[in-house]
Amino acid sequence: MSDQSGFTDGALSDVRVVEFAQALAIPYCGKLLGDMGADVVKVEPPRGDTYRLQSRSPVKHEGKDFAIANRGKRSICLDFSKPDAAAVIEALARWADVVLVSMKGSDLPRYGLDYDTIRSYNEEIVFLHNSPYGSEGELAEMGGYDVVAMGLSGMSSLLADADAAGDAPVMVRPALADMVTGMLSCLAVVTAIRHRDRTGEGQRVETSLFHTSLGLLSNMFYRYEAYDREPMAAFAEKLARLRQAGAGFEQQKRAMREEFAVDPPGNIYFRHYRTSDGFVSVGCLTPVLNQKLRDALGVEDPRRAEGFEVGTPAARVALDEFMAEAERIVATRTTDDWLATLRAVGVPCANVNFPHEIFDDPQARANGYIEDLVHPVHGAYQTVSSPLKMDATPLRHHGPSPALGAHTDAVLRELGFDERTVESLRESAVVGRFDEAQATH
């Protein structure tokens, strides 16, 4: 690896990554690879990654969200539409061990970023393509966004709240499809590197926002032919009737949750509660833990009584009253009181944090889950550290996110371009920031 990169530690310290991607999913993959020690060169269009321009940033080209997903990388600006860009792409492919791409499949050959072209330059390349909804089917060429993938997968029907009128689902946040796709993409790349190191064989790897979203639902939704097909068909008819009658999202979601027992009756054991001053979560999934919680609350589960018949109207009333009783009891004391009481008897529990509270959460701080960094424009900030811990090759950040195109000249020189060629590429606006290109032309 070139001494200019400065990446000298981590399990991937000898790995070079080129990232052709914007926004969040694959840039987050690149960030994780960088935290593992890889030298990640982010290739941006002359205007920059659109994530740089998010409205929450007070500084142009320095989006706060962008800084989180792109720390520790190097940035070059390249206009793919220029014919001379092909030489730069070829040089990057020959230099790299890994190429990360997130574009519509039809754009890849147009810019010389398809697997066959990249592999012709480097047979051992690990090539990851994020195809948002999969590389086949009628949506294969549609622009990829987290909100669309989560809606398509059914995740939004489970997680989204209804709007004020109860008519439509509001957007789910955090961006689960994006973030988890980034994590799975990182896993796929590392696995492919392992295979290449054993065999010398590179390969194409594909991830998908849609597939990730489906995977996140897989512990809840499945269809066994002997048990599930008929109930699902019956609910499909019910849902069609609700929609025809003009039912809003809230009503449709409630029907779905009841049909598939998403909120099972009598659930006092695995849920969130309101306390007198906040909220507390409890998790009890064993008979022993269930008994400990009942003892702490001073309640008796009607299902344990002799003669209780599940599924009857009387049973549903009893379970609803049981749950309401537990809720009333928890609401009489503070969160801290309940945490002390429940933890004393071994019930897994925690307070419910709002996102801003996590930065000072003692458990997060004790484990190094929150780290303090300094950005050259935004100053000091805190963010979540990489969600992996390794003793021999710890993950760490390698500096803040790069300024737009800050490493263009340095990377081109590492690739073997001489000063005259670099200057020519700049003059023809093949490389360089948009504002520089405007000044030149």
DSSP string, 14-74: T-EEEEE--SSHHHHHHHHHHHTT-EEEEEE-TT--GGGG-TT-SSTT--HHHHHHSTT-E
CA diameter of the chain: 89
Nearest to 126 by CA among 207, 71, 180: 207
Nearest to 176 by CA among 161, 156, 190, 157: 156
Q: How far apart are CA 20 and CA 439, in angstroms?
A: 25
- Those residues with Cβ within 8 angstroms of residue 72's Cβ, 6 or more apart along the chain or in another chain: 31, 34, 35, 40, 397, 398, 399, 400, 401
Token code pair at residue 301: 């589960």
- Thinking of the domain 16-215+367-440, which architecture would CATH place it in? 3-Layer(aba) Sandwich (3.40)
Q: How far apart are CA 263 and CA 210, in angstroms?
A: 25
Host H or E run for residue 337: helix 335-344
Q: Is the overall model pTM greater than 0.85, yes or no?
A: yes
SS3 330: helix
Angle between helices 176-199 and 209-217 (to 10 degrees): 100
Domain ranges of the chain: 16-215+367-440, 222-259, 270-356
Task: Write the single-letter amino acid at 321.
Answer: E
Q: What is the CA 73 to chain-centroid distance, rounded?
A: 19
Query: pLDDT tens digits, the chain, 441 residues: what are they?
Result: 334 445 557 899 999 999 999 999 999 999 999 999 999 999 999 999 988 887 566 777 888 889 889 999 999 999 998 999 999 999 999 999 999 999 888 889 999 999 999 999 999 999 999 999 999 999 888 888 889 999 989 899 988 988 888 888 888 888 999 999 999 999 999 999 999 999 999 999 999 999 999 999 988 888 889 988 999 999 999 999 999 999 999 999 999 988 887 888 899 999 999 999 999 999 999 999 999 999 999 999 999 988 888 888 899 899 999 999 999 999 999 999 999 999 999 999 999 999 899 888 899 898 888 888 899 888 998 888 888 888 888 888 888 899 999 999 999 999 999 999 999 999 999 998 776 555 443
Per-residue CA distances from 284 to 154, 270, 331 (Å): 27, 6, 19
Task: Write the single-letter amino acid at 4.
Answer: Q
| Beta carbons of 352 and 330 less than 8 angstroms apart | no
Q: How far apart are CA 389 and CA 275, in angstroms?
A: 34
CATH code for residues 270-356 = 3.30.1540.10
